[in-house]
Amino acid sequence: MSSDTSSTAGIGRREALLKSAGVAGGLGLIASAASTALSPATAASSTTAAKARTMANTFTTHDGTQIYFKDWGPATGKPVVLSHGWPLNADSWEGQMLFLAEHGFRVIAHDHRGHGRSGQPWGGHEMNTYADDLAQLLEHLDIKGASLFGFSTGGGEVARYIGRHGTQRVAKAGLISAVPPQMLKTAANPGGLPLEVFDGIRAGERANRAQLYKDIASGPFFGFNRPGAKVSQGLVDWFWMQGMLAGHKATFDCIKAFSETDFTEDLKKFNIPTLIVHGDDDQIVPIDAAGKAAAKLVKGATLIVYPGAPHGLTDTHKDKLNADMLAFLKS
């Protein structure tokens, strides 16, 4: 994998996927026709709009990695910052982003390094660097009073951010189907999953990660392997596409990061209102060693358990989660 950190690599992968579906050519014709048809007034309006705050941007970290982020909603809204899970990107939060932006919040979500449209450096695919990238994003945008929400691996990023950088810029936190305090079974964490589980995921990554992502999405992630479950091919394809936009090295290294990192001490440093949401049928990050354990470590945390909900509840239980997040943000 190249150490090139420009965002063009991520954008190129997305364009390649679009072209394979026959979309890019059609979009090009539409854009060309629209450009030709622009009146002087329309052109002037477009120029003015271009100077305004855009909804998608990049910034460069201290080690030269470009990080892509979305910035939706009114600029004056209270900031909500969302961190995504493995092997996904900021798009996985779009149901929450649109909802919260429509309710007046400024909603920001970034692609982890090596994922989505961010640059693909060879290293840094571990929790300390993820947390530092998040810190630099908040500094870049001068965000204050933010509510940080992390889904799955992103919950680990949020926890490590607070552990390393404190809560000077943070007002509230949320852990959604999140991996803290620790996924791996150890002497100190007997309720965790054995190392063989994660070795199996690594083996799947090496052998055929495209098939691995399809198997995860069509099986336990959304609970589609449960009796009577109605499979959404759209969600399966959506998960797969996001996974394939990420770099192989980044997704491979991230397995160790989300499974082996111990966030116990990070959670003890939480000193802000914290919402923890977890499904009691989460087959990816089982609730007992995750949501319930985290709630015991975070002082004053509010734990909401979704009966029968799988890991990917940001989609399967989108309306309920949106309502719970909104209520928490307004509380």
Does a cis peptide bond (omega within 30 degrees of 0) precede residue 87?
A: yes
Q: How far apart are CA 301 and CA 166, in angstroms?
A: 17
| Residues 6+ positions from 298 with CB-CB distance below 8 Å | 267, 268, 270, 274, 276
67 touches 61 (CB < 8 A): yes
Angle at the Cα of 12 (from 252 to 90), degrees rounded to 5?
60
Tens-binned pLDDT, residue by residue, of the chain (331 aa): 434 444 444 445 555 554 444 444 444 433 444 444 444 444 444 444 444 567 779 999 999 999 999 999 999 999 999 999 999 999 999 999 999 999 999 999 999 999 999 999 999 999 999 999 999 999 999 999 999 999 999 999 999 999 999 999 999 999 999 999 999 999 999 999 999 999 999 999 999 999 999 999 999 999 999 999 999 999 999 999 999 999 999 999 999 999 999 999 999 999 999 999 999 999 999 999 999 999 999 999 999 999 999 999 999 999 999 999 999 999 9
Name the residue among 129, 120, 136, 117 with its Cα closest to residue 56: 117
- Cα gap 310→262, rounded to integer Å: 23
The span from the CA of 2 to the CA of 4, in Å, is 5
Cite the active site residues: 152, 282, 311
**Cα-Cα-Cα-Cα dihedral sign, residues 235, 243, 203, 286:** negative
pTM value? 0.85
